[in-house]
């Protein structure tokens, strides 16, 4: 900031004149407020209002007046559908960490080198990620349709009865998780590929000359090197699990008998569609606390000093 | 190449093809399904259609509602991108160029949006949008979307602006160029790569967004394409071929766009992610 340093040696009045003259103050006053206003109005204020509304029994009309204290939270805590929704969210996290990320890592290791065939596979694996979640949900609700879909064809050719997996209490969520893995493994793979490409080739070559096996190189050179990327991708998996919504609506809409809700579909179904604004806001607050907790915990334990 | 190498390579490619078929099969069945009669979908979802019926695709392409949905989405996403770029870059420019009392605090404040999911505040957002009379208008989608995109945009912009050569500003300053003019004349034109990355990112998010339009839009005239698609699905529940044709037609722009902007999408998603 050379101009600022120069002006520091001038008398106060001159400094003020200059800073007005080159538009320092007016720059701040012109360029900053639009962002501050938009952000405050549509992000921070609604967030605060979530907290406020959550203490009321309110259908959204008129001003909230029926103060119920923590009753909304108590009702949520005692609602079996909410327990199911939280359980489902945990399941998505588990599937992401145990199946999706290892699969993505394996694929990344197989195709991170820049060759034409690898580029084609990379493109294919990334394809589901760029589709809208609603479109992905619709495609798979066709696949899983016991009357028409791909599973119907397969069942028929095997001589089995059609199976309506999305209408099955026990299996519907397995189907949902399949779609989630299908949709997002390419994203995690891309993160790993970007990281793997930054592992110095000499390091791998050195290992090879020392007689290290392929797996040893993976274990002792490549994986340690991309650890920051793995940590970040796990973070995205967890935060993503907290937000799953679009995919569920076309697939199961939370059914059968509320077995496949996530926290957000729960919020939408029981808060918005029934205009229980207070109740839904309380769900929103819980979601907020969960997200912040994950973020803070993660920062503390995994990203300490890690600038990667 | 040794035999062990060859075998390993065959296994590798076989595995990759297996995963690729898991990825592609549902999409292929979708594209082909749009050409089939319902009876045929039922008996064979994967095979090529016995006869290629263009009528389902044709009827959607001929339907003005389909184009209106796409047009609405295009308009909403474009305005959201332009707003995010201008408003976000302006704020980031202040944080990068001008140190003033409270600037660090305001910067952290604007990054709060990175911390929590959009859905958290969706109900109060609905109430607010309704109370100011924006319900069922494009602005009801554009403004909250822009506001939520600002955090990431400001973070990425500021980092980029700080790396621009300082000498440039000093030279311009001596020539009597003020901060605001410098922003328009130099900072923005020099920042094309980061503007493109953020722009593409915001566009894709907005284009695919479902929850917000679902909550704040009611009438078909203003529907975005995901809403239109769900509406269409609801109308033709028993006719998968029509829905599949619709889905296919919406996949096409997404894939074309991705191929065109691949560089920015991958950079924005993974580069940003890896750098944290």
For A53-104, how does the pLDDT look when each residue is reduced to its tens digit (9 = 90+)?
999 999 988 889 899 999 999 999 999 999 999 999 999 999 999 999 999 9
Residue A65 lies inside a defined structural domain of this protein: no
Query: With an 8 Å Cβ cutoff, are A232 and B15 in contact?
Result: no
In the predicted structure, residue A1 carries a pLDDT above the cut 90: no
Q: What is the mean pLDDT of chain B?
A: 89
From CA B255, how far away is CA B207, in angstroms rounded?
13
* ipTM for the predicted complex: 0.90
A14 vs A64 pLDDT, higher one: A64
Residue pLDDT, tens place only, B202-243: 998 999 999 999 999 999 999 999 999 999 999 988 888 999
From CA A223, how far away is CA A96, in angstroms rounded?
18
- Chain A residues in contact with B226 by the CB 8 A cut-off are 132, 134-135, 246
Three-state DSSP class for A137? helix
Query: With an 8 Å Cβ cutoff, are A182 and B22 in contact?
Result: yes
Residue A41 lies inside a defined structural domain of this protein: no
Upper half-sphere CA count for residue B84 (Cβ side, 13 Å):
34
- Selecting from B20, B30, B270 the residue whose C-beta is nearest the C-beta of A124 gives B20
* Nearest alpha-carbon partner for A19 in B259, B99, B201, B258: B99
pLDDT at B276: 36
Q: How confident is the model at residue B76 (pLDDT cuts 50, 70, 90)?
A: very high
Contacts of A216 (CB under 8 A, 6+ apart): A207
pLDDT at B42: 78
pLDDT at B269: 63
Domain span including residue A5? 1-31
- Chain A residues in contact with B27 by the CB 8 A cut-off are 127, 139
In the predicted structure, residue A20 carries a pLDDT above the cut 60: no
Q: Residue range A193-197: average pLDDT?
A: 90
Q: How confident is the model at residue A308 (pLDDT cuts 50, 70, 90)?
A: very low
From CA A274, how far away is CA A277, in angstroms rounded?
8
Q: Are residues A75 and A25 in the same domain?
A: no
pLDDT at A175: 94
Percent of residues, chain B, with pLDDT higher than 70: 96
Could you tell me where the DSSP H helices lie in B192-239? 192-208, 211-216, 225-235
Q: Are residues A196 and A279 in the same domain?
A: yes
pLDDT at A60: 87
Residue A136 lies inside a defined structural domain of this protein: yes
Between residues 62 and 101 of chain A, which touch chain B (CB distance below 8 Å)? none
Q: Are residues A22 and A78 in the same domain?
A: no
Q: What are phi and psi of B111, to 5 degrees?
A: -85, -5
- Selecting from A60, A148, A191 the residue whose C-beta is nearest the C-beta of B127 gives A60
From CA B14, how far away is CA B8, in angstroms rounded?
10
Q: Are residues A260 and A207 in the same domain?
A: yes
Query: With an 8 Å Cβ cutoff, are A135 and B226 in contact?
Result: yes
Q: Is A50 on the interface with B (CB under 8 A)?
A: yes
Residue A84 lies inside a defined structural domain of this protein: yes
- Chain A residues in contact with B106 by the CB 8 A cut-off are 32, 36
pLDDT at A22: 62
Beta bridge partners of A56: A67
Between residues 134 and 193 of chain A, which touch chain B (CB distance below 8 Å)? 134-135, 138-140, 142-143, 145, 147-150, 152-153, 156, 182, 186-187, 190-191, 193
- Chain B residues in contact with A111 by the CB 8 A cut-off are 16
pLDDT at B56: 92
Phi-psi region of B237 (alpha: psi -120 to 50; beta: other; left: phi over 0): alpha
pLDDT at A263: 96
- Chain A residues in contact with B15 by the CB 8 A cut-off are 110
Tokens, residue B83: 């707003």
Residue pLDDT, tens place only, B155-205: 999 999 998 888 888 888 777 788 888 898 889 999 988 899 899 889 989
Residue pLDDT, tens place only, B35-54: 998 888 877 777 888 889 99
Q: Are residues A102 and A231 in the same domain?
A: yes
Residue pLDDT, tens place only, A105-152: 999 999 999 899 999 999 999 999 989 999 999 999 999 987 777 777
pLDDT at A306: 47
CATH number of B56-275: 1.10.3720.10
Residue A57 lies inside a defined structural domain of this protein: no
C-beta neighbour count of A17 within 10 angstroms = 13
Residue A271 lies inside a defined structural domain of this protein: yes
Cis previous bond, A165, omega within 30 = no
pLDDT at A14: 61
Cis previous bond, A256, omega within 30 = yes
Q: Is A285 on the interface with B (CB under 8 A)?
A: yes
Residue A187 lies inside a defined structural domain of this protein: yes
Tokens, residue B141: 């989608």
Residue pLDDT, tens place only, A247-303: 999 999 998 999 999 999 999 999 999 999 999 999 999 999 999 999 899 888 886
pLDDT at B272: 53
- Chain B residues in contact with A99 by the CB 8 A cut-off are none
**Local structure of residue A67 (DSSP, 8 states):** B
* Nearest alpha-carbon partner for B254 in A134, A112, A243: A134
Three-state DSSP class for A218? helix
- Closest residue in A to B262 (Cα) is A123
pLDDT at B1: 55
Residue pLDDT, tens place only, B133-149: 999 999 999 999 999 99
Q: What is the CATH number of the domain that holds A270?
A: 1.10.3720.10
């Amino acid at each position: 900031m050379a101009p600022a340093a120069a002006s520091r040696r001038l008398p106060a009045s001159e400094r003020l004149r200059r800073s007005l003259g080159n538009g320092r103050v007016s720059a701040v006053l012109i360029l900053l407020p639009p962002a501050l206003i938009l952000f405050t109005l549509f992000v921070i204020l609604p967030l605060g209002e979530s907290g406020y509304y959550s203490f009321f029994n309110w259908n959204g009309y008129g001003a909230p007046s029926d103060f119920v204290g923590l009753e909304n939270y108590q009702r949520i805590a005692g609602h079996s559908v909410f327990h199911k929704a939280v359980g489902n969210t945990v399941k998505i996290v588990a599937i992401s960490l145990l199946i999706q990320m290892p699969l993505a890592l394996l694929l990344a290791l197989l195709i991170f080198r820049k060759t034409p065939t690898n580029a084609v596979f990379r493109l294919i694996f990334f394809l589901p990620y760029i589709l809208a979640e609603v479109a992905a949900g619709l495609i798979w609700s066709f696949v899983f349709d016991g009357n028409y879909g791909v599973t119907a064809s397969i069942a028929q050719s095997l001589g089995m009865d059609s199976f309506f997996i999305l209408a099955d209490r026990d299996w519907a969520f397995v189907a949902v998780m399949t779609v989630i893995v299908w949709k997002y493994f390419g994203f995690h793979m891309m993160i790993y590929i970007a990281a793997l490409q930054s592992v110095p080739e000499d390091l791998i070559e050195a290992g090879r000359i020392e007689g290290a096996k392929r797996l040893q190189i993976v274990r002792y050179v490549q994986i340690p090197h991309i650890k920051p990327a793995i940590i970040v991708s796990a973070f995205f998996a967890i935060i993503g699990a907290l937000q799953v919504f679009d995919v569920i609506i076309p697939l199961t809409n939370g059914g059968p008998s509320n077995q496949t809700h996530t926290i957000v579909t729960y919020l939408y179904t029981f808060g918005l569609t029934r205009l229980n604004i207070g109740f839904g806001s309380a769900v929103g607050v819980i979601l907020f606390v969960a997200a912040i907790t994950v973020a803070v915990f993660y920062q503390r334990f995994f990203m300490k000093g890690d600038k990667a | 190449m040794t035999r062990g190498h060859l075998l390993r390579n065959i296994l590798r490619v076989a595995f990759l093809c297996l995963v690729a078929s898991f990825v592609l099969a549902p999409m292929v069945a979708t594209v082909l399904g749009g050409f089939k009669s319902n009876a045929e979908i039922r008996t064979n979802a994967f095979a090529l259609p016995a006869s290629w019926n263009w009528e389902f695709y044709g009827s959607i392409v001929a339907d003005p509602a389909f184009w209106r949905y796409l047009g609405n989405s295009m308009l909403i996403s474009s305005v959201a991108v332009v707003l995010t770029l201008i408003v976000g870059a302006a704020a980031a420019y202040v944080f990068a160029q001008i140190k003033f009392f409270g600037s660090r605090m305001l910067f952290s404040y604007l990054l709060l949006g990175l911390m929590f999911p959009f859905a958290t505040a969706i109900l109060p957002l609905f109430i607010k949008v309704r109370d100011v009379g924006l319900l069922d208008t494009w602005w009801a989608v554009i403004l909250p979307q822009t506001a939520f995109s600002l955090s990431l945009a400001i973070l990425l912009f500021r980092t980029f602006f700080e790396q621009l050569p300082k000498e440039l500003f000093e030279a311009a300053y001596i020539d009597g160029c003020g901060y605001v003019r410098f922003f328009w004349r130099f900072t923005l034109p020099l920042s094309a790569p980061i503007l493109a990355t953020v722009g593409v990112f915001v566009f894709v998010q907005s284009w695919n967004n479902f929850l917000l339009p679902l909550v704040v839009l009611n009438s078909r005239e203003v529907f975005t394409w995901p809403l239109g698609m769900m509406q269409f699905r609801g109308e033709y529940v028993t006719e998968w071929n029509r829905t599949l044709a619709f889905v296919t037609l919406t996949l096409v722009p997404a894939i074309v766009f991705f191929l065109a902007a691949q560089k920015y999408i991958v950079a924005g998603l993974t580069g940003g992610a890896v750098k944290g």
